[in-house]
């Protein structure tokens, strides 16, 4: 596969993600509930997309109705650990906890603790990503969502390119027939 062919596989996927990010997230007001809800949806969309690369072509992963936590666990199982740093998974877990706190409690009791973790996470990540400090927790959360979507979406595009570039030099239909024939013989019975 040439470099141009690789770019042709990757660019449309990252462009689509960026367009969704710009449309639904980049101009959000500094309203915690909106930031959490829309950020959570964008991260979940990325996870679903990553998982779908490992499914059969006609499979509809969204129809499985996997919860966010299951999608995170499944993506962690499928994606090689060297592609996604542990800090991303920690942030995704924290985002989900904040989302659940806001969605299931009128007056969430754990937000202070969660935002203390978020501030610590932001301090670490801003050094890695060379980002200036931000004045509010909402701004920090919004920036962390942006940064980690900037990691997830290229990984999604990379996995997409890898899966599309796989070439099978074997007749898969015949292989399946042979496997079925062998299954019919198992276990070998002396009376057959």
What pLDDT does 93 receive? 96
What pLDDT does 121 receive? 94
The total number of residues shown for the chain amounts to: 192
Instruction: Quote the domain boundaries for residue 93.
Output: 3-185
Please indicate, yes or no, if residue 192 is contained in any of the structural domains. Answer: no
Compute CA 77 distance to the chain's CA centroid, rounded to the nearest angstrom.
Answer: 12
Please indicate, yes or no, if residue 12 is contained in any of the structural domains. Answer: yes
Per-residue model confidence as pLDDT tens for the chain (192 residues): 677 776 777 777 778 888 888 999 989 999 999 999 999 999 999 999 899 888 877 788 878 889 999 999 999 998 888 888 888 999 999 999 999 999 999 999 999 999 999 999 999 988 888 889 999 999 999 999 998 888 888 888 888 777 776 755 556 566 667 766 766 665 554 554
What pLDDT does 189 receive? 46
What pLDDT does 89 receive? 94
- Which of 84, 80, 31 has the alpha carbon at shortest distance from 54? 80
Please indicate, yes or no, if residue 65 is contained in any of the structural domains. Answer: yes
Please indicate, yes or no, if residue 54 is contained in any of the structural domains. Answer: yes
What pLDDT does 192 receive? 46
As for how many domains the chain has, the answer is 1
For residue 53, give both structure tokens. Answer: 């690369």
What pLDDT does 169 receive? 54
Please indicate, yes or no, if residue 172 is contained in any of the structural domains. Answer: yes
Please indicate, yes or no, if residue 78 is contained in any of the structural domains. Answer: yes
Considering only CA atoms, give the Rg of the chain.
21
Please indicate, yes or no, if residue 190 is contained in any of the structural domains. Answer: no
Ranges of H-type helices in the chain: 3-21, 32-52, 68-78, 86-104, 111-129, 137-165, 172-185
What pLDDT does 42 receive? 95
72-111 in b/e form (b: 16+ CB < 10 A) is: bebbeeebeeeebeebbbebbebbbbbbbbbeeeeebeeb
Please indicate, yes or no, if residue 91 is contained in any of the structural domains. Answer: yes
């Amino acid at each position: 596969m040439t470099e141009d062919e690789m770019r042709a596989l990757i660019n449309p996927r990252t462009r689509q993600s960026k367009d969704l990010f710009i449309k639904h997230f980049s101009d959000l007001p500094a309203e915690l509930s909106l930031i959490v809800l829309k950020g959570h949806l964008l991260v979940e969309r990325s996870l679903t997309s990553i998982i779908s690369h490992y499914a059969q072509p006609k499979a509809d992963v969204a129809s499985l109705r996997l919860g966010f936590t299951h999608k995170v666990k499944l993506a962690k199982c499928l994606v090689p650990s060297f592609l996604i740093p542990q800090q991303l998974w920690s942030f995704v877990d924290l985002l989900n906890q904040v989302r659940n706190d806001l969605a299931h409690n009128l007056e969430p009791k754990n937000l202070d603790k969660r935002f203390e973790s978020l501030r610590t996470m932001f301090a670490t990540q801003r050094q890695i990503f060379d980002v200036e400090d931000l004045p509010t927790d909402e701004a920090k959360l919004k920036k962390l969502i942006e940064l980690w979507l900037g990691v997830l979406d290229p990984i999604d595009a990379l996995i997409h390119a890898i899966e599309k570039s796989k070439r099978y030099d074997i007749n898969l239909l015949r292989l399946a027939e042979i496997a079925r024939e062998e299954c019919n013989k198992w276990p070998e019975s002396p009376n057959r």
